[in-house]
Structure 1
Amino acid sequence: MKRLEVMANRSVQEEIITGLEEAMPDFYYTFIPVVHGRGRTQYRMGTPTWPEENFMLISYLHDEDAQRAREIITEVKHRFPEEGIKVFFVDGEHTANT
């Protein structure tokens, strides 16, 4: 199992979420609509000085779905090369109802 973390500019939010939902009918996730911070090249603070904002998506995926998610997000990154899109996969563990 993998934990998927996506942090990206809100301008690509719909493309990423729609792509993942269409590719995986059982795609369940937590969505944080507004995320502020600093990346390597820009601030995204939602202020007049740095007006852009990010979103964050977190999901736990079976290994085979993690590869599919990587492909979908990579395709969005190729279509929107100037937008900040960062993807992280971390080994995840599921515990039964604790």
Structure 2
Amino acid sequence: MQTNELVRVELIFSQAVEEDFFDSFRKEKIVFNYTKIDNVTGSGYSNPKLGDAIWPQLNEMMIIYCSKDEAEKIVEVVKNLREHYPAEGIACFLSSAQSR
């Protein structure tokens, strides 16, 4: 059975920066295939995003399977957006994956 090595990229970010992610992806010509999950709640290293009266904001989540080269470009986009929006929560996780 042939397998193709991939990188799984998980991005969790404030809804406020969603458009900036997609603009950056278009500019870099990356991330054409992804799964996006809207209205994600949670608490990380920034203010909680719970979608309630106390913490009204919400997060988005993207799951991307891509090559190592594309993953490196995504990480650069994340670094740039973190610099531009230091108060917004932007998380990025990479792991190996296989397509079967």
TM-score of the aligned structures, taking structure 2 as reference length: 0.87
Aligned with 1:40: secondary structure? coil
Task: Report % sequence identity.
Answer: 26
Aligned with 2:20: secondary structure? helix
Aligned 1:25-64 pairs, distance under 5 A: 25=30, 27-64=32-69
Unaligned runs of 5+ in 2: 1-5
CA–CA distance in 2 between the matches of 1:23 and 1:6?
A: 17
Judge which range, 22-31 or 84-93, deviates more.
22-31
CA–CA distance in 2 between the matches of 1:76 and 1:2?
A: 21
Q: 1:53 corresponds to which letter in structure 2?
A: L
Once the two structures are superposed, what CA deviation does each residue of 1:13-62 show, in whole Å capped at 9, x if it has no partner?
11112212331256211111210112134321101111111000111010
- Aligned pairs, how many? 95
Aligned CA-pair RMSD = 1.4
Which residue of 2 is the match for residue 13 of structure 1? 18
Answering whether residue 93 of structure 2 is matched by residue 94 of structure 1, we say no
Are the structure 2 counterparts of residues 26 and 44 from structure 1 closer, same or farther at C-alpha, using a change threshold of 3 Å? Answer: closer
Runs (4+) of structure 1 moved beyond 6 Å? none
CA contact (8 A) 2:7 2:66 kept: yes
Shift of 1:86: 0.3
Are the structure 2 counterparts of residues 25 and 88 from structure 1 closer, same or farther at C-alpha, using a change threshold of 3 Å? Answer: closer
Aligned with 2:13: secondary structure? strand
